[in-house]
Amino acid sequence: MAYIREKAIAIEAVIKAAAFCLDVQTEMVAEDRAEKGDKSPVTIADLGAQAIICQHLRTIFPNEVIVGEESSETLKQPQNQGMLNKITTYLQRFSEEATTDTTCEWLDMGTGTVNHERYWTVDPVDGTKGFLRRQQYAIALALVEDGIPRVGVLACPSLPTSLSSPRGDIGTLFIAVQGEGTMMASLSSHRLNFRPLHVNTATSFSQLRCIESIEQGNREVQQKIIQELGLNPEPLKMDSQAKYGVVARGEAALYLRLPTPSNSNYREFIWDHAAGTLVVEEAGGKVSDMYGQPLDFRNNKRMLKNQGIVVSTRELHPKVIDTLRYHIS
């Protein structure tokens, strides 16, 4: 077995961050969010969860490079002093050492760059819009070595362990280690009880469903692909990398994320895909860009060589790429 310590520490870190997010979500008020430079929302959960994960990783692995979505930049603006104080108060429930200075220091442990043989990448609240709507979000953490995700963890605090029991057991943890498969456990039980996952093996395409973002994506082309392949015509819609988990456990067979003409220059961030990619591939699926090329986790925090994302079973993947060729330039 490989990456035993990394896997254990990654699980501990995301579980702690998930507990933090649940705490914050129950008590959140309008002032607990701000707008980042790119106009996207950031909440005290995103920032606090990154601080927790970085601090936890660095306690065990003091020299690790961490590439995170967040930094203390927003919090250092005078108008966000109240947010900084509040995050610190929440963090004190998790660590006696938390002060406003350590909050910024822990957050900024996650401002590393990808040009290293080994780095961790973290999206502390992937799907912030879903988190704000009290729908799906994920705490995503991956270890990347030589440009390849080796350990991937997704904690999805609002995701039922089965979509067929939406009010059943809520909160799912996905963990994948390269070469060792993908496992899932309920986040709600005291002892993690893992079971192995496999992507959908149904041979009739009409039984297979697609899953897509709530916020964005080229619905027109996505719908054409679904139709031409004869998949179930009603795609599931969900925020965050929880979509990768849903494909890994067979509830969807295809996750399509295609650029619209108005955002054709958009390049995806590594932290939005590294953990999810391993979770699906180790469950027997395949992940690529819309041209069938592997995702580039080696060169930049944005995947400059890739456009669009196709996540599916191995059987479906070449058919999706072939079909897509006629719809993208």
Active site residues: 46, 128
Those residues whose C-beta lies under 8 Å from the C-beta of residue 179, and which sit 6 or more positions away, are 2, 282
Core vs surface per residue 78-96: b (16+ CB within 10 A) or e: eebeebbebbbebbeebbe
Residue 64 interacting entry, from ligand AMP, Mg ion, none, C-beta within 5 to 8 Å by type: none
> Tokens 């904690």 map to which residue?
155
Among 257, 273, 286, 317, binds ligand AMP (CB under 6 A): 257
Per-residue tokens: 90: 């929440």
Q: Judged by CB, which is closer to ligand AMP: 63, or 262? A: 262
Separation of alpha carbons 194 and 176, rounded Å:
11
Residues 6+ apart with CB under 8 A from 20: 45, 48, 49, 52, 90, 91, 94
Contact letters (x/-) for Mg ion, 110-149, by CB under 5 A?
-------------x--x-----------------------
Binding mask 186-225 for ligand AMP (x = CB under 6 A): ---------------------------xxxxx--------
Nearest-10 Cα torsion for 130, 131, 133, 136: 50
- 123 contacts which partner out of ligand AMP, Mg ion, none, CB within 5 to 8 A by kind? Mg ion
Contact code string over 260-289 relative to ligand AMP, x by CB under 6 A: ---x--x-----------------------
Burial state string for 231-245 with b = 16 or more CB within 10 A and e = fewer than 16 = bbeebeebbbbbbbb
289 binds, among Mg ion, ligand AMP, none (CB under 5 to 8 A by kind): none
Among 127, 152, 157, 235, binds ligand AMP (CB under 6 A): 127
Among 80, 158, 186, 240, contact with ligand AMP (rule: CB under 6 A) = 240
Measured from the CB atom, the residue of 19 and 214 that comes closer to ligand AMP is 214
Is 129 an interacting residue with respect to ligand AMP (CB under 6 A)? Answer: yes
How many CA atoms, within 13 angstroms, populate the side-chain half-sphere of residue 205? Answer: 15
* Torsion from C-alpha of 221, 222, 228, 230, nearest 10 degrees: -160
Binding site for Mg ion (CB under 5 A): 69, 123, 126
Binding site for ligand AMP (CB under 6 A): 127, 129, 213-217, 239-240, 257-259, 263, 266
